[in-house]
Every structure is written in C-alpha cells, then in structure tokens.
Amino acid sequence: MTQEKTPVILVVDDTRTNIDLLVHLLGDQYEVSVALDGESALEVAMEERPDLILLDIMMPGMDGYEVCRRLKMREETRNIPILFVTARKESVDEEQGFALGAVDYITKPFSPLLVKARVKTHLRLKQALDRVTHHNRILEETVQQRTAELRETQLAIVRRLGRAAEFRDNETGLHVIRMSYYTHILGAACGLSEADCTLLLHAAPLHDVGKIGIPDPILLKPGKLTAEEFQIMQTHPSIGAEIIGKDESPLLKMAFLIAYTHHEKWDGSGYPRGLRGEEIPLVGRLVAIGDVFDAVTSKRPYKEAWPIDRAIDLLRQGSGHHFDPRLLALFLENMPEVLSIKEKFREHE
C-alpha cells in the first residue's frame, strides 16, 4: 500500500525564535522548511512547492504582503494556501491580506492548539481541492479524447461520402484532396482563421456529394449534355444540401453551404438559386475557384488535362463573371503553393 506523502509546510519569519517555535509545534507531524526573508521564501516555494505557507508580514526588505502577491502571480505557486502570521490586529491589514489571496491569519503570541488546528484545517482543504483539481483534469482529458475520437469519426464519414460522389463521377479521390487543399490555401490567403481553414479543408470534399442523386446516363455521359440533361445535373447542389442536412456541427454547417452554393457565380448566372456577388457565402466562392481549377487541369475520360497557362487564362476570363475578383487575384498570387499541391497529389499516368 502506497504511503501518503508527508505534507510540506514553509515557515517564513525574520525572527529565529518564532521559526524555532513553529518548527517545534509542527515538526512532529509535517516536513517543515524555513526562510528568513521574502526573497528566500520565493526561492524555496518555487523549488519545494510546499503544501502550505506560514508567512510573517513584518519583515525587512520584502514584507509578507509583497511575498504573497508574487506567489499568487505565479502559476506554480498560486494555489498554495498562505496563512499570515502577525502581531498586528488592525482590520485593514486583514482586508489587505485576504485581498491578496491569503486564506487565514494567525496572531502572535502563538496559541499552539490554534496553530495546529488552523494548519490541519487548511491542509485538509488543500488536499480536497487538489483531489477535485486532479479529478477535473482527468475528466477534461477524457472529454477531450472522446471529442477528438468523435471528430475523427465524423471526418472519416465525410471523407468517405465525398469519395463516394467522386467514384460515381468517374473521378479519383485525388480530385477532392487537391481541390480541398487549393481551397484551404485560398482561405488562409483571404484572412480566415486557422480553425476555419481547417474546417474548410475537411468540408470541401462534400462539394459534389449531391451527384449521388443524379442518374447514371446523365452523370456518366461522355459527351455534351442536352438542355434537359443539364437541367437535371443542376439539381445536384440542392440534392447535396439535402443529403448533408442542417446540423449543428460546424463542419457540416460549412459543408452544407459549400455543397449548396459552389456552382453560384459572381454575376448571378450560376445555379441553383442565381445568387450574385457577396450573396454567395464566402466558402462557396472559395470552393468554386479551387474546384474549377482542378477540374480543367485534370485528365478525364472525356477530355485531356489543360496546361496550367490555359487554365489560368480561363480563370482570369471568369473574374467578375464566374469568380469573385478579389479571391481570384489571391488564388493567382498563391499559384506556386497551388502547383506544389498539384504535384504532390498528381494522377498516375
């Protein structure tokens, strides 16, 4: 059976007689360290991390109030209970001490029974607080672990759902990876927070999940779609939004907006709702650029991959028409990073 550690008490007083008396009173039950001045008290407290401090107020140089203030400022020592030891009984002194974080006062001359009782009481309170703090830390770590596991599960489902849509469209999963990273780069360039950029990276793969609901003869047709077929194809953003649904998860909220609005165009000629300019959610405008760039620069059964210069010309022609001009300019400014992603996740020949 593990033996409990003996509590450590730090006694701080500039008078040897007082220190000797307190060591004599407490030494048979506790491990007692001593300091004769404020500076030494701070050093011993940082080194030994005592369970309780008996602190004299009236000391030359740094007084007890200043020692208390400094201890409470430090993360390592702020939770150590401090009992002021003083011959002064003015209420203003007590108010000052409690305001600085002291838990109690012991007045001189000492009453041995009172000193032992106060020390025992505050050590028990400290031990109870430590147990609660430890329990809360374990609980917090457990919650964080479970939250991380749930987040990973959610991300795995999102990735697989995104891949399912791409497989139906005769595309590889590399498309959703590349366009997601392109969008992530653009999101960072336009000032999104790191957290929002991460959400964007994970939500973007669901942009075309609505293609699951498009009939194969239309989705897999190698040639140009008829007007009627294209009208059916234009329903996939609405289908995608319906599949994702309105969920409280930040990831799924963003995925919903992306799926629903990534085919809207800056000039209002897009679908499904014909939104114009900043009526289109920012994430939809970001994904539109990354999606189109990867689509035209990738080989498909019905077309060859476009050269980068031709793809950039297409993007520039769409500035102010298909794409948000400001976002497109940022995308082109970050083209070296975009091309690095393209090379990293390139298709196998």
pLDDT at 1: 40
pTM for the model stands at 0.60
Please state, in angstroms and rounded to a whole number, the distance separating the CA atoms of residues 255 and 260: 8
Helix (H, G, I), strand (E, B) or coil at 322: coil
Q: What pLDDT sits at residue 89?
A: 60
What pLDDT score does 299 carry?
82
- Per DSSP, helices labelled H in the chain are 16-26, 38-48, 64-73, 91-100, 112-168, 173-189, 194-203, 216-219, 227-233, 236-244, 250-261, 282-296, 308-317, 325-333, 335-344
Q: Is-cis flag, bond preceding 250, omega within 30?
A: no
Domain positions in the chain: 8-139, 169-344
Which segments of the chain have a pLDDT < 50?
Answer: 1-2, 349
Q: How far apart are the first and last CA of the chain?
A: 66
Residue type, 165: A
User: Which phi-psi region, left, alpha or beta, contains residue 170 (left: φ > 0; alpha: ψ -120 to 50)?
Assistant: left
- The pLDDT of residue 170 is 52
- List, in sequence order, every residue forming a beta bridge with 31; answer none if it has no partner: 8
CA distances from 130 to 48, 54, 213 (A): 17, 19, 57
pLDDT at 143: 85
| Cβ-based burial of 128 (10 A; exposed 0-12, middle 13-18, buried ≥19) | exposed
Preceding omega of 307 cis (within 30 degrees of 0): no
Bridge partner residues of 319 (DSSP):
323
pLDDT on residue 30: 94
pLDDT value for 348: 56
* Three-state DSSP state, 337: helix
What is residue 171's predicted lDDT score, i.e. its pLDDT?
55
Phi-psi bin for 116: left (phi > 0), alpha (psi -120 to 50), beta? alpha
Kindly report, residue by residue over 114-155, the tens digit of the pLDDT.
999 999 999 999 888 888 888 888 888 888 888 777 767 766
Answer whether 184's CB lies under 8 Å from 194's CB.
no
Question: Is cis: bond before 60, omega within 30 of 0?
Answer: no
The CATH architecture assigned to 8-139 reads 3-Layer(aba) Sandwich (3.40)
Instruction: Give the pLDDT score at 149.
Output: 75
What pLDDT is attached to residue 169? 58
For 10, counting Cβ atoms within 10 Å of its Cβ (0-12 exposed, 13-18 middle, 19+ buried), the class is buried
**191-237 pLDDT tens trace:** 999 999 999 998 998 999 999 899 988 888 878 889 999 999 999 99
Q: Six-digit token pair at 56?
A: 């004299």
Beta strands across the sheet bearing 52-56: 31-35, 8-12, 52-56, 82-86, 104-107
Number of neighbouring beta carbons within 10 Å of residue 146: 10
At CA 94, angle to CA 89 and CA 100, rounded to 5? 150
pLDDT at 107: 86
Q: Which CATH number among 1.10.1060.10, 3.40.50.300, 2.40.33.10, 1.10.3210.10 corresponds to the domain 169-344?
A: 1.10.3210.10
